Every structure is written in C-alpha cells, then in structure tokens.
Structure 1
C-alpha cells in the first residue's frame, strides 16, 4: 500500500510546494491510516503534519469519544490537533438538505477558513478508491448532468487553498490491512452500517458484487474520473469560445443566442454551450440542471418540441423567436395591452413603456426620431387612445398609397410574439391607427407648411422590440 500511495502522490504532484499538511481526522480507519502514513514520511516529503478534527455532534457520546481518541493519538505522536464543533442538524434543517450533505458543506467551509492566512498549506482527506467507485456509480444512477465530471477529484481547489486525496489509488481493504500491520485500532462509526444512507446501500449491496467481478475496479474508476475531468475541461474551453460566436445579447438575467449559429456548432459543443448558459443564469442558485434539461433545449432549437417555449426550474423561461433562442429569468408579461386614454398633455404608462405628450409651436419642432411622433394638432381627431393589436389592424403608409397589416409589419420587423401582445398602438378618436411606436407612422395628421400647432408624442420603451 505504502508504495502505491507514494507513487500516487508523486504522479499528481500533491505535495509540491506544500510545507504543512493538515490531515482531516475523524478517528476511523481511513483517516487514521492517512495521518499515520504522513507522520512516518514527513521528513521524506519535507512537510510538517498537523491534524484537524470536526465534531459534527450527530452521535452524542460517540462523537465525544471520537474526539478524545484522536486527541490521545495526536498527543502520543506529538502532533498538533485543531478541533471544531458544528451544529449540523440545525444547518441541514435551515437549508433543507440531508444530514450528510450538510456535514460535508460545513466541513469544507471550515477547511477553507482554516487555510486562510496559512500559505504553503493544504488539507488532506482520506477518500479512497472504493469511495471513488461508489461516488461515480451513485452519480450515474442518479442521472445528474453528464457534462459535469463525476467522482472525487485528486485535488479540490478552495478559495483559500486546496484539499488533496492521497488514498484515491488504494482500496478500503488495503487501508484496513495497513491499520492492522501498524497496530492502529481505529474508531468505528456506527452510522456506517445504517441503510438509510445511500452510500451505505451501495457499499454493502453493490460494491461486493462489482469487486468480485473485478478486484481492481478502483484503478479503472480512478482513471475514468481523471480522463473524464481532463476531456470535459478541454471541451468546456472550446465551448466558451464557441459561445462568443453565437451570443446575440447578454444581460444579468437574460441571454439570447442565434439558432443558425448554434446549429453550425458540433453537437458536443451545442450541449456544453447550453450548459454554460444555464450555469451563468442560475449562478449559485442552480437547481443542478440535468442532461434531460439540456436535451429539451436541444429539441427546442431543432424545432422538435411541440411548443416554442420551455419553463424550467426557478422561473427560467426558454423560447424561440425567429432565428433567436431566448433564455430569461425575467417575469413574462402575460396580459395584452388594454384600451387606455392618452393623457394630452402629460404622461401615460403602459406595460411596454411610457408615452409623454406636449404641444409646441412649429418653429420649435425637435429633430424627428423613431421614438417620436409629430402631428398637426388641429388635424388630430381626439380623444387619442392606446391599445393592443386587433385582428385585421392596418395602418396607412407615409409617402405611399395603401395600407399595411400590423401583424405583417411585426413579422417583417421580426418582433417577438410575446412583445406583440403588449406593444402599444396609438389610435385617434375615429379608431384610425396613427402610430406603431418605433416601427411605423401613419400619414394622417402629418405636419405641413400650414401647420400652426404641433402635438409631440415621445415613447420610451421598458422592453426590447
């Protein structure tokens, strides 16, 4: 065992530039073997060895006895020990998570805090090859995101340092044999036998069969984890570059990509680009998007979904509009623009933006812009109103004869279907359409040389068109 662990440490450069190793010790066989192994070889590796122990306060008197056992061992071997008590149950309840996950999160939070202001140091945990096999199997069976490397990393990077796992290349059986050979009598955690924990069910029911088929499965699983991690890292780098070529618009809560540009990507990159988008929008609140979500979005992009939209976890809305696919966490506007009177002069708020109206003399007319409409105030049929589009709506064309359907105008200008429902139209007292803001003006009540008074309308949108 000792030679295998040494070769593993050298291969992965786990102790390069490390001066102090803080071994996470529970009192069980795995961590006691790791602490003993590093103590015996600290001169060879040129390191100082200290121990850290977390009392999760989950097993009453057993937890107290574990800490006392570790303290006694460290005292006998002249090893500094640092301990921490944690209220795992309260943390698990407050964050609505399982006990084991809560314990792990608190433990690694403390490890990170501990390494702050301790340069050239690391934490060492005693995860071994059987743990690796169990973790990969559990991840595969659970159906997690296949683009996220499964298994236990040889080195876990924290904000203030890193954690190393020197025992990933050996088995639980080898560790137990080492303890017997070196006269170590470790503590046994009674919860390791409880079948209520998923890992224990895998350990007791599945692992014996797998190891009977291949006693060296842990070597294969370790290689699988390392290769998968390296491959995924490289492909994600390519995906990050590919994302830049397909993004149309990006904000804190929304991302729009070009469907055509996305379809030109190789399929593995399409999957990973979507994964990057979901990870960006969800951030720390990620519901842990699965491969199923990514496949749903791929089908949506390929127009294989029966609808043109998807509603994912935590309010994420994905929908198609022409050549674009939109990902947004912004609340969707469901109501159509109702009929409301336009205040003249004054301000009128709508779901899509605000209208401001005022009168001017002809000599003071501002430069015409697409968000403005100038009307001959004496030719306007009052009262003016704002409403949404209706079936058959048409608007006359400035500088041309005839009219154009508003829905056709929306199609030609590639206005999103969700926006069409709330986009405000200006109508006069006779019901004639005068303005589709930012898109088209009617030829009614236009300004001429005979105009004496001008009505200026300004529309400032709060949504994109």
Structure 2
C-alpha cells in the first residue's frame, strides 16, 4: 500500500524525474530506512543514481557511531555509495546560542548543501511523512507564526544545486512501520524520540493522539489545509511582488528600501504585509530568529501613525523609519562626525563620494546660483579658512528675512529632513565656527554690496541627498 500512495504522490507533484542523481538523507531510523528501501526498489526502473548521506551529530556517543555503521553496512549490501559525516552540535550550539534541535538541523543542512554541489545532484530526498506535517502545523500555530507558515513542510523546494523532495508526505508513520515489517527491515531507533523534552516530541506523544481521537483523519485534513494555504500564498505572493515592483525603491549602498506610504496603503493589508516580508528577505542575508509576528503589527502601526517622524527597531540593527509620508527600512548607520578643511582654490573630497569645488572669481558678471552653488564675498582680497563639518549643538545661521539667527534644528524641521540624515548633513562654516551654508538647504545672508569684487565660488557635487 505504501508504494501505491508514494508513487501517486511522486507522479502528482513530479517530485523525482528519471535519469537523475538523488542524495538520500538516512539516519538509520525507521522513516529514512523505509525511504532508502523504496528508492532502491525503483533505482533501475527510474534510472536513478543514488548516494546516501548519513550524519553523526555527536549527541549519543557510541550509539550515534553504531547508527552510522548500520547505514554503511546496509548500503554496502545493496551496492549504493554512502557519504558519512560528523558534525559537532554541542560546540555549535554554545557558539551560536541556539537549541540542540536547531543547531543539529543547521549543521545537517550545511552538509547536505555541500554534498549536493559536490555530486551535482538534482534531488535531496528526505523522509518527512504526514505525521511530521501535522506536528509541524500545530507547533507553528502555538508559536503564532504567519498564516503562510501553515503551509507546513513543502513536498519540494529549491535547495543548493537542485531540490529537496519529500516523497513520504502523503503517508503516515503507521504505514511506514508496516512497510518495514513487510520487507524485513529492522531499523535503528533513537531512545530520545520517546522523551518529551523537545517540543516536537511533546506534540507527538501527548497532543496529537488526543486530536486523532476527535478526528481519525487528522493527517489527511491537515494535508488538504496545507495544500490550499500553499496555493493561496503562492498567488498572494505573486501579487505582492507586483506591488513591490511598483512602489518600492531598492538601494544597495547602503542597503535599504524606501517607498511612499500613501502608495503602499492603496493596496490591501494582506499585500502590504507580504511586501513587508519581501523587504525583510531582501535586506537580511538570513532571516533572524528574533523576527516575530509583533514586528508585523509594528509595521502596520508605523504606516497608520499620525506622527510625522517615527522609528522602530528590528533585529540585527535594522530600522523602520517613517518621515512624513515616506518609509525607509535599512540597517542603522553609525553617523561619525567629520570636519574637512576646504582647499581654496581646489577640490575637497568629503563623505559619501561628494566633492566641494572652490574657485576664486573676480568681478563676476552674474551671481546666479542654485542650491548647490554658493558665492561668498571676500574682504580686502583675503581668503579665510572654511570647513565642511557635521552640525554641533547650538548651530545657528544668520538670515536677513528674520533679521536674526535661526537654529539649524528648526531648519531641518522646516525642510522635513529625516532624523537619521541630520547628524551627517554637511555644514559650511568659517574658521570661527560661523555657519555660512546648510548645504543644499539654506545660505547665510550678507549685508554688504554683492555686485562687484572678489568671491569664492563653491560648487557642491552631491549624490541625491533627499
């Protein structure tokens, strides 16, 4: 019966094609030994090139070594090559501050990935079954995962040089045990699977038996649920990708994403949330374990907030920043103060690949300037020292229109400059600290005649500043 169900499942989802190289993850336990036996029975008819991978996690001492020896002996008997590897879960767990199961999984998949590339395998076959799927779904429900996480374990997904495939997702643990008995296979059994220390074991031993009393077809119900959720999620993610392409602006240096909050909120909240997750996947090399559904709520709180400026911290120094109707998500940059003396005449390089070009101009015919050009009159043809620096507390600039000096803080607020940009904004000052130019925003007013004489012409060549 097992063969019939699995054959149908493999064909339905096109999990394994003929004439392919397949790695098989085999621990020596019941599930993986049944999978190995199943694929060996189809090796000739499907023209499969099989390679077994068995891993000693170093958790059970001599018993783990015996598991590896058992798998190697079985593979030698059936003339299938085997790769055996050791991983130090205990050291990895301490170094990376994670749980035993998480550390073991990460190391195991690192080995799988390397061997997939080494053998140029198309498939990595793993023995997860429908009971594993049911356990996974209920575990994720209790942890408050995203709705699409309820799609559970995928029957196929891209991995390394090919795909991870799980041919047994359509069958139960009970069917596997019958299959082993029918074929005279005595697998290795891990005693720790009967301990409820780990969350999965607790669900397996204490929760699911009660649920199956209420619904004997629980595994089948969960399978239909996961299939439907996966299809719905695939469609919504396609729509979210279209939204992201139309409203998001991606930047690589520094790595960040910006968008108009008004444009994003034109779309359904379900798509907004998925766009948020597309952003996270773009910015993080690996999604941190600290991400939680509460961060989704913080994202929506930020979009809906009436505050003009708002910032929310995410794991690993990622920040969500709202500035009026603009949203920026990027990694926090440490703004280092700077101060550069200008070469007059000459070119001075300042942060972020920007230049200040200084020229001495005599009796110019015009003093027309834009926001990045500034003419400073000279007294007695003496060229004073000028500097470009970051702002200091109490900085003010003289403006004729208000007949006095205005705080730079107020100017930044008036110009709606985002908070995270103010600390690194370039300011032109003289040798006494007098502010002459908040570059790109506002210039000092002069009380003298500007129609003739000698000037310093400053030209600022920036990348986009706002």
TM-score, length-normalised on structure 1?
A: 0.83
- Taking the aligned partners of 1:68 and 1:176, their CA distance within structure 2 comes to 22
1:168-220: CA deviations, max 9, x gaps?
11111121122222222211111212322221111111111122122221122
Q: Distance in 1 between matches of 2:433 and 2:53?
A: 79
Query: Relative to 1, partners in 2 of residues 1:228 and 1:424: Cα closer, same or farther, differing over 3 Å?
Result: same
CA positional deviation for 1:262: 0.8
Asked whether the equivalents of residues 395 and 434 of structure 1 are also in contact (C-alpha less than 8 Å), the reply is no
- Aligned residue for 1:289? 291
- Residues 215, 423 of structure 1: alpha-carbon distance in 2 compared, 3 angstrom cutoff: same
Specify whether residues 263 and 344 from structure 1 end up closer, same or farther in structure 2 by C-alpha distance, changes over 3 A only: same
Report matched runs for 1:361-400 at 5 Å.
361-362=362-363, 368-378=369-379, 395-396=399-400
Contact 1:254 1:327 in 2 (8 A): yes
Retained in 2: the 8 A contact 1:18–1:120?
Answer: no
For the residues of structure 2 that align with 1:68 and 1:217, how far apart are their CA atoms?
37
- 1:416 aligned partner: 418
Q: CA deviation at 1:138?
A: 1.4
Which residue of structure 1 aligns with residue 168 of structure 2?
167
**Alignment correspondent of 1:310:** 312
Call closer, same or farther: CA 1:432–1:381 in 2, change over 3 Å: farther
1:430: Cα distance to partner? 11
SS of the equivalent of 1:184 reads coil
Preserved CA contact (<8 Å) 1:388 1:423 = no
- The answer to whether structure 1 residue 456 and structure 2 residue 447 are counterparts is no
- Relative to structure 1, the CA distance from residue 23 to residue 442 in structure 2 (aligned partners, 3 Å threshold; closer, same or farther) is closer
Change (3 A) 1:395 1:60: same
1:138 aligned partner: 139
Tell whether 2:129 aligns with 1:125: no
CA contact (8 A) 1:341 1:383 kept: no
* In structure 2, C-alpha distance between the alignment counterparts of 1:305 and 1:291, rounded to whole Å: 23
The 8 Å contact of residues 245 and 261 in structure 1, kept in 2 or not, is answered as no
Q: Point out where structure 2 has 5 or more consecutive residues left out of the alignment.
A: none
1:258 alignment partner, one of 254, 260, 264: 260
In structure 2, C-alpha distance between the alignment counterparts of 1:197 and 1:246, rounded to whole Å: 43
CA distance in structure 1 between the aligned counterparts of 2:245 and 2:307, rounded to whole angstroms? 26
Aligned-residue RMSD, C-alpha: 3.9
- Three-state SS of the structure 2 residue aligned to 1:310 is strand
Deviates more, 1:209-218 or 1:16-25: 16-25
Count residues with an aligned counterpart: 458
Deviating more after overlay: 379-388 vs 99-108: 379-388
Matched, 1:114 2:118: no
Q: What residue in structure 2 maps to residue 63 of structure 1?
A: 64
Cα distance between partner residues in 2 of 1:130 and 1:149: 14
| In 2, Cα distance between equivalents of 1:41 and 1:424 | 70
Q: Is the 8 A contact 2:24 2:52 kept in 1?
A: yes
- Flag structure 1 segments of 5+ consecutive residues without an equivalent: none
